[in-house]
Amino acid sequence: MFCNQCEQTAKGTGCTVSGVCGKNPEVAALQDLLIYGLKGLSIYADRVRQLGGRTDEETDLFTVEGLFSTVTNVDFDPSRLEFLLRRCYQLKERARLAYENVWKAKSGTEAPPLGEGPATWVPAPDRPGLVKQGEENGVLTYHQDEDKRSALEILTFGLKGMAAYADHAAILGYRDEELFSFLHRALAATADKSRGLTELVDLCLDCGKYNLKAMELLNRAHTERFGHPVPTRVNLGTRAGKAILISGHDLLDLEELLRQTEGKGINVYTHGEMLPAHGYPGLKRFSHLVGNYGGAWQDQQREFPLFPGSILMTTNCLQRPADSYIRNIFTSGLVAWPGVAHIGDRDFTPLIQRALELPGFPEAPGKEILVGFGHQAVLGLADKIIGAVRSGAIRHFFLVGGCDGAKPGRNYYTEFAEKAPPDTVILTLACGKYRFNKQDLGEIDGIPRLLDVGQCNDAYSAIRIAQALAEAFQVGVNQLPLSLILSWYEQKAVAILLTLLHLGIKNIKLGPSLPAFVSPQVLQFLGEKFNLSPISTAEEDLRAILG
């Protein structure tokens, strides 16, 4: 196997024996083959659109789900991946027939073949054969040229991240034909080895453009369903009673779980990226949504054995479950691990029953932290913020956020937040905030110095905030007293970075290490065009930024 798509990839180059995330070579090969199959499907779907036709909804949604299933820490189950592969082939053949029919209807002639490779892929009859096909079509086969391969990997991983947000939105009934069209066009392009490096880089920036559209769509889905987040205090202690812990990003899963547990004497706790859910009026109205337990995703193997209830993993973030809690953990949506009970239809009866069998928590109130500073909440403070900047009370803003992880070096973000001067404000989002979100950083003229914007997809809110401030001060975003200090782990972070680059945002600092899939020449280009650079130390970076 060879996989280098996450920040913790082995030796900073690529996992070759087994994945640091926990996936084995069989799973890695099946995921690689699924990407290969999706390229073939996309070749036909893209050509259908070029000829004026339309793809069917199942093909569009499957493309999103297939991409998302290969994101780090989502699907570790070879049987489910095999099912996806065989469905991918069926839909590819359906798209091929649609292409041939549209072509013949328009020209009166038989359609020409669309090349070899992914377009003509036929799945092997058994799983060992599928694994072999995946091994023959992994990342290292993308291109012989290192720089083109790097651009292809950046694009592919960005598409995976974008698909995650499109999937979350689609689950809530919000879909956009332009997103599906771009996914198919870009995936088809990754199978075309004649593309030049400049064209591939442009496609990467286009991915950022469409990812912004996907995040905006998801923001609309969330706020129209659950209301705009409002500043809310979240208890980190426990309430007496039975308990369920829910992790991941799927707010619809949380809403349905809250409905099904209402009146049953079960308290629901959030974990990881589900923490921002407490700020949504449509979710916080449930009195048994009582608090947050634990930290970021990488701590689950230490924290989950101590949780005296059942646990639901709704999206990527899953680690190998230990024997001590494997009977207590459940998956939903696209998440899967062999031997772990899966809930596919939002009927959480097994999860609830298990929670009732377990002891639950005693009463133990804890510290409170503040969440709920989406763009509407922050822009409600705009006059105060602008006044504080003009008076000199606020000198600088930092966006310090992104993915968390276990790799050494992430204490940088804790130190950065601690050492940021008291006349600075920190915006944060995603699970990287767990490095410092329990600290009391105080206020400036009644404005909290730490503003939790939400989940990783709420980078959209952070962008809205930055654009509104730029408009208020009549400058470009790059001229604001604002610096982006980002941490990354997986492919959604790649998609967000591409969005920021698409918007022309410069001077981003990225860590804790740079992606293994970025070649030296591509990195040089990013440095020269966008002044993208790695983090150094908190003291050095603060000194360089603030002068």
Which tens digits make up the pLDDT trace of 135-157?
Answer: 999 999 999 999 999 999 999 99
Calculate mean pLDDT across residues 480-504: 97
Let me know: does 247 contact 271? Beta carbons within 8 Å: yes
- Do 84 and 218 fall within a single domain? yes
Dmax (CA) for the chain in angstroms is 75
Which tens digits make up the pLDDT trace of 188-208?
Answer: 999 999 999 999 999 999 999
- Do 184 and 156 fall within a single domain? yes
The mean predicted confidence, pLDDT, of the chain is: 97
pLDDT for residue 419 is more than 90: yes
Range of the domain at 448: 381-546
pLDDT for residue 544 is more than 90: yes
The single-letter DSSP state of residue 140 is G
- Do 220 and 242 fall within a single domain? no
- Do 236 and 213 fall within a single domain? no
Within a domain: 258 = yes
CA pair distance 245, 259, nearest whole angstrom: 15
> What local confidence, expressed as pLDDT, does residue 116 receive?
87
Q: How many domains is the chain built from?
A: 3
- Do 33 and 156 fall within a single domain? yes
Alpha carbon 59 to its chain centroid, in Å, reads 22
> What local confidence, expressed as pLDDT, does residue 224 receive?
98
Of 190, 225, 260, the one marking the end of a domain is 225
CA pair distance 241, 63, nearest whole angstrom: 42
**pLDDT band at residue 407 under the 50/70/90 scheme:** confident
Which tens digits make up the pLDDT trace of 287-301?
Answer: 999 999 999 999 999
- Do 290 and 436 fall within a single domain? no
**pLDDT band at residue 16 under the 50/70/90 scheme:** very high
pLDDT for residue 319 is more than 90: yes
pLDDT for residue 378 is more than 90: yes
Strand duo 447-448 + 443-444: pairing: antiparallel
Within a domain: 362 = no
Calculate mean pLDDT across residues 353-362: 98
Of 175, 202, 225, the one marking the end of a domain is 225
Within a domain: 435 = yes
> What local confidence, expressed as pLDDT, does residue 406 receive?
87
Which tens digits make up the pLDDT trace of 458-486?
Answer: 999 999 999 999 999 999 999 999 999 99
> What local confidence, expressed as pLDDT, does residue 133 receive?
98
**pLDDT band at residue 409 under the 50/70/90 scheme:** confident
**pLDDT band at residue 14 under the 50/70/90 scheme:** very high
- Do 46 and 142 fall within a single domain? yes
Calculate mean pLDDT across residues 203-229: 98
Calculate mean pLDDT across residues 438-448: 96
- Do 434 and 529 fall within a single domain? yes
Of 301, 324, 357, the one marking the end of a domain is 357
pLDDT for residue 547 is more than 90: no
pLDDT over 70 percentage in the chain: 100
Specify the CATH number for the domain of residue 200.
1.20.1270.20
Q: Give the alpha-carbon dihedral of 9, 202, 496, 335, to 10 degrees.
A: -60
Within a domain: 371 = no
> What local confidence, expressed as pLDDT, does residue 115 receive?
86
Which tens digits make up the pLDDT trace of 272-281?
Answer: 999 999 999 9
Within a domain: 94 = yes
Structure tokens, 423: 């006349």
Specify the CATH number for the domain of residue 351.
3.40.50.2030
Within a domain: 348 = yes
**pLDDT band at residue 359 under the 50/70/90 scheme:** very high
Sign of CA dihedral 236, 237, 240, 243: positive
Within a domain: 347 = yes
Q: Tell the burial category of 344 from Cβ atoms under 10 Å away from its Cβ (0-12, 13-18, 19+).
A: exposed
- Do 36 and 176 fall within a single domain? yes
CA pair distance 258, 268, nearest whole angstrom: 7
Among residues 76, 68, 21, the alpha carbon closest in space to that of 406 is found at 21
**pLDDT band at residue 400 under the 50/70/90 scheme:** very high
- Do 61 and 201 fall within a single domain? yes
> What local confidence, expressed as pLDDT, does residue 226 receive?
98
- Do 196 and 303 fall within a single domain? no
Which tens digits make up the pLDDT trace of 89-114?
Answer: 999 999 999 999 999 999 999 999 99
> What local confidence, expressed as pLDDT, does residue 384 receive?
96
- Do 410 and 538 fall within a single domain? yes
Which tens digits make up the pLDDT trace of 334-343?
Answer: 999 999 999 9
CA pair distance 522, 428, nearest whole angstrom: 28
Within a domain: 479 = yes
Let me know: does 183 contact 64? Beta carbons within 8 Å: yes
Read off the pTM.
Answer: 0.97
